[in-house]
Amino acid sequence: MGSVRSTRELPAPFDLDVVEPSVQAASRMELALPATRETVTRIQETAERFLAGELGRIGSIDVLADALIALQEATSNVVRHAYRNGANRGTILVRAEVTTGLLRFTILDEGPAYDPEGIPPPDFDHPRDGGYGLHLMRMTMSKVACSRRSGRNVLVMEKALSGEASDGGA
Per the model's pLDDT, the better-predicted residue between 164 and 160 turns out to be: 160
108-117, 127-136, 160-169: segment of lowest average pLDDT: 160-169
Q: Note down the domain range covering 25.
A: 4-160
| Pairwise CA distance, residues 57 & 26, whole Å | 11
Per the model's pLDDT, the better-predicted residue between 92 and 14 turns out to be: 92
| pLDDT the model gives residue 170 | 35
Q: Helices 64-77 and 37-57 sit at what angle, rounded to 10 degrees?
A: 160
Per-residue pLDDT of 77-92, as tens digits, reads: 888 887 775 556 789 9
| 168 domain-assigned | no
| pLDDT the model gives residue 53 | 95
Q: Mean pLDDT across the stretch 58-78?
A: 94
| Pairwise CA distance, residues 47 & 53, whole Å | 10
| 94 domain-assigned | yes
| 33 domain-assigned | yes
Per-residue pLDDT of 133-160, as tens digits, reads: 788 888 899 999 999 998 899 999 999 9
| 63 domain-assigned | yes
| 8 domain-assigned | yes
The pair phi, psi for residue 126, each rounded to 5°, is: -135, 75
| 134 domain-assigned | yes
| Pairwise CA distance, residues 48 & 53, whole Å | 8
Number of domains in the chain: 1
Q: Find the CATH number of the domain harbouring 37.
A: 3.30.565.10
| 166 domain-assigned | no
| 59 domain-assigned | yes
| Pairwise CA distance, residues 47 & 74, whole Å | 13
This prediction's pTM: 0.78
